[in-house]
Amino acid sequence: MTEEPVEPETDAPAPTDEAPSEPVEPETDAEAQSAEAPSSDVGRELRVRSRRGFIVAGVAAAAGYGAWRLLDGAAKIGGVQWPLRRAFEFEERLTEAYFKPSRLSPTFSTEAITRARINGGVGLGPDVGAASWRLRVEGIDGRAPSELTLDDIKALPRNDMITELRCIEGWSIVVHWTGARLTDLMARLPPPRGTRYVAMETPGRGYYVGLDMESAMHPQTLLAYEINGQPLSWQHGAPLRLAIPIKYGIKNIKRIATIRYTNIRPADFWAERGYDWYAGH
């Protein structure tokens, strides 16, 4: 099996290709003598061409299989063969170059809302309620880390959006989210100018995601405290989770305990398990 195109020119015989109906020019001078080639000469010509054609085909197939074995057996970075990881990163740069924050995830009417499927409980921990919960923000420009209560978040402008949550598994649901824009929090507790990433973690760092700054600043990136008009349940990430339709569901981290601004590319739970770090739309 090959996965890389072999250059058509490579060590292959190059018969001069003209109109298909034209007779084949013999390969050797001796054969060129016989314009009205008897069958035996045609047979010889065919044998020469067949041998060469099938040897080239065999070599190409072997080379392709070898390339496949190399790729499949390549050292892994974050659970995936390094050339595939590099491809993810290349595609991330392409997308970031093309990215416009004005491109929004489509929004829907309330009739389009689907059942809020429960999926993924990594890092949720025990259901202890919201009273003792605090959101810790680290890496604020020129300031010590700050701790906020849910009321602090609710004091920020309230936003509603009905958007599609696309799971990396291929299914999607339409959800009504209510919450504060992450950019509004970041305006109050700003990162240093030019900060590249935002990291988020659940209590005890059971689950963690990394976001590029443009996606974090996207107008549809919400710190959500309600789902479909109800306060978040424990399974949906109470008391505060991320609703980020510009990314796959895996980045919509539940039960956020820590937000950190950083210039070091943050670790990401699923990116360490073979998935694309960027995971963006």
Q: CA 180, CA 121: separation in Å to the nearest integer?
A: 23
* 31 binds another protein per the rule CB under 8 A: no
Site map 154..193 versus another protein, x via CB under 8 A: ----------x-xxxxxxx---------------------
Nearer to another protein, 102 or 132 (CB): 102
* 102 binds another protein per the rule CB under 8 A: no
Q: Which DSSP helix (H) or strand (E) runs through 41?
A: helix 39-72
Note whether 165 and 172 are within 8 A (CB): yes
CA 178 to chain centre: 26
Backbone conformation region of residue 88, classed left if phi is above 0, alpha if psi is from -120 to 50, else beta: alpha
In the region spanning residues 261 to 280, those forming contacts with another protein, defined by CB under 8 A, are 270, 273-276, 280
* 28 binds another protein per the rule CB under 8 A: no
* 83 binds another protein per the rule CB under 8 A: yes
Note whether 177 and 222 are within 8 A (CB): yes
* 119 binds another protein per the rule CB under 8 A: no
Torsion of CA 68, 71, 73, 77, to 10 degrees: -160
Tokens of 110: 């309330």
Q: Which residues bind another protein (CB under 8 A)?
A: 1-6, 8, 12-15, 17-24, 37, 39, 42-43, 45-46, 49-50, 52-54, 57, 60, 64, 68, 79-81, 83-85, 87-88, 91, 95, 98-100, 103-106, 164, 166-172, 245-246, 270, 273-276, 280-281
